[in-house]
Amino acid sequence: MPNSELQKLWTDPLHPEADALDLSAKSVWTSTSRADRQFPVFQGLPWLFPEPTRALVEWRDRALQLLQFLESEVADLKSQISESSSATTRKRLTEIRRLKILHLEYVRRTLEPLKVQDRKRLIPGPEFYRLPLRQGLLGYAPNAVRDWSPSLFPGENERLLELISQQMLPEFSGKFRIAVLGCGAGRLAYDLAQLGHRVVGLDLNPLLLFAAQEFAFGGAARTSADFPVQALDPDRPGREVKLGGFPAASHDHLSFAFGDVYQLPLVTSSFDIVITPWLIDILPRRFSELVAEIARVLRPDGAWINAGSWRFDFRSESENLSLAEAEESAATFFRSLRTQRASTPYLHSPIDAHRREEILTCFTWQRNSSPPPTERPLADDRIEWIRDPQLSIPALPVFAAASATHLAMSELLREVDGRRSITDLAARLKERHGISDAEALIAVSAFFDRFMLDRRFRDFA
């Protein structure tokens, strides 16, 4: 558990005006603003999501689906091995299966604190909160290998620490209180704590943060597997890896917690530096919302340091900001000190033909003396007429299109009885919708092809 100074930095994400959380219990932390708001603690990690029960139910569901998916991969490989007539293919598949089993066991053990099989019933709370849809468990799993394998990705963690250190100078040259948002598997937070800073790391991914908690505090080495995007040598489809074995960080200098960067469970004006490594390009909400939360937790004259890809992927191009636009939107709270473009290897594995060299956008923005924001992003980011069930639902064109599509899909699925063929269903579709034989046959075949592919290759990550 963190020491008393670091403990004072965590607070209720919906009530950050609280001085701290009540940490008298080891398994549950209680809001000092509202005694009915409690946050579970898993393996020493506080679960500081805005609506902790809802987040727990969803992460358990995602974790269970992931484990089932990985188990099905292993079972499928066993069948492929027995069915293959090629000794060379069997050898390759056998090695992939061995590595997949190692990876499955690593994932299963890492997620144990979640108690995945505990199917807790969701009781709606006073607030609504949902996890980002695109942030899955496996999406950044290779980063844990990069962070905690001593020699597999030489220089990558050191390069990131070097760039962050360059951004800190000359204004920030002592020992500081630092928050690392989107800390992932925790290596940067660990490295900064080893330099003497007091660091808190925040992330929402259990597979990464449980690894951070284990390995940063001296956990024994564990075995997993590393899979290249494109194997350089087809006979080497992956490699066994050992993670961990690092000197234990001090609890006086390092603390991790689960949370959301748009509803930071951090006390207002409590940090000298906030760092966002490899974060901005994956966030699902407006940049201005992130700006406001970071400004709130920084003290006046504190610094926001960024290092990562500069890319947004919003449907509305107006939200895909350039760096100049971002600086402009943040000008109420920040002034730019310096900007740097720097290259770094990224998951540059010697067994991978798909080696990446990325250009990072690094900047230091200093918090000005304006008051911290009083308005915060809503934890409930649903559209207004969904949040308020009394409002009229707008007649959007997308609803009409989706209705026609889903009606046709529903009709086809209801006709499946174990006897009818695609030709039979195409005849029914032709009769009901007045289309040609060829069009009906193509439509039905395409629907079932997509339907089965979606379920066979569904990404549970």
Q: How many CA atoms lie within 13 A of 137 on its CB side?
A: 25
Confidence of residue 2 (pLDDT cuts 50, 70, 90): low
pLDDT digits (tens, 9 = 90+) for 320-342: 999 999 999 999 999 999 999 99
- Distance in Å from the first CA to the final CA of the chain: 30
pLDDT at residue number 1: 57
Exposed/middle/buried for 239, CB within 10 Å: 0-12, 13-18, 19+? middle
Query: Would you state the structure tokens that stand for residue 283, as one six-digit string?
Result: 């966030």
pLDDT at residue number 333: 96
pLDDT digits (tens, 9 = 90+) for 386-411: 888 888 888 888 777 667 667 777 77
Residue 409 phi/psi, 5-degree rounding, is -60, -45
> Which fold, 128-367?
Rossmann fold (3.40.50)
Query: Would you state the structure tokens that stand for residue 431, as one six-digit string?
Result: 């009769």
pLDDT at residue number 439: 85
381 or 341: which carries more pLDDT confidence?
341
pLDDT digits (tens, 9 = 90+) for 32-49: 888 888 999 999 999 999
200/211 Cα distance (integer angstroms): 15
User: Which of 116-130, 200-214, 256-270, 281-295 is predicted with the least confidence, judged by mean pLDDT?
Assistant: 116-130
Q: H/E element holding 169?
A: none
Query: Would you state the structure tokens that stand for residue 230, as one six-digit string?
Result: 């494109």
Percent of the chain with pLDDT over 90: 58
Q: Please list, residue by residue across 292-327, b when 16 or more beta carbons sit within 10 angstroms of its beta carbon and e when fewer do.
A: bbbbbbbeeebbbbbbbebebeeeeeeeebeeeebb
Mean pLDDT over residues 205-227, rounded?
Answer: 95
8/267 Cα distance (integer angstroms): 8
Do 303 and 367 meet the contact criterion of CB atoms below 8 Å apart?
Answer: yes
Q: Which residue in 231, 243, 263 sits closest to 141, CA to CA?
A: 243
- The type of residue at 285 is R
Give 233's strand partners.
none
Mean pLDDT over residues 263-281, rounded?
Answer: 95
pLDDT at residue number 281: 86
77/63 Cα distance (integer angstroms): 21
7/326 Cα distance (integer angstroms): 32
Q: Is the pLDDT of residue 178 over 50?
A: yes
Q: How many CA atoms lie within 13 A of 318 on its CB side?
A: 1
Sorted by where each begins, the domain ranges of the chain are: 128-367, 395-456
Mean pLDDT over residues 444-448, rounded?
Answer: 83
Query: Would you state the structure tokens that stand for residue 194, as one six-digit string?
Result: 């080893």
pLDDT at residue number 317: 92
264/286 Cα distance (integer angstroms): 15
Mean pLDDT over residues 399-425, rounded?
Answer: 80
Q: Is the pLDDT of residue 92 over 70?
A: yes
Q: Is the pLDDT of residue 291 over 60?
A: yes
Which residue intervals of 176-316 are DSSP H helices?
187-194, 206-216, 287-297
Q: Which pairing describes strands 28-31 and 21-22: parallel, antiparallel, or unpaired? A: antiparallel
Q: Is the pLDDT of residue 457 over 60?
A: no
Mean pLDDT over residues 345-373, rounded?
Answer: 90
* pTM across the whole model: 0.88
Q: Which pairing describes strands 28-31 and 198-203: parallel, antiparallel, or unpaired? A: unpaired
pLDDT at residue number 25: 87
Q: DSSP assignment, residue 114?
A: G
Q: Is the pLDDT of residue 70 over 90?
A: yes
pLDDT at residue number 397: 82
Coil vs helix vs strand at 31: strand
Q: Mean of the per-residue pLDDT values for the chain? A: 89
262/283 Cα distance (integer angstroms): 10
pLDDT at residue number 453: 65
Contacts of 4 (CB under 8 A, 6+ apart): none
Confidence of residue 460 (pLDDT cuts 50, 70, 90): very low
Q: Is the pLDDT of residue 458 over 80?
A: no
Confidence of residue 124 (pLDDT cuts 50, 70, 90): low
121 or 205: which carries more pLDDT confidence?
205
- The type of residue at 335 is R
Mean pLDDT over residues 60-73, rounded?
Answer: 93
192 or 454: which carries more pLDDT confidence?
192
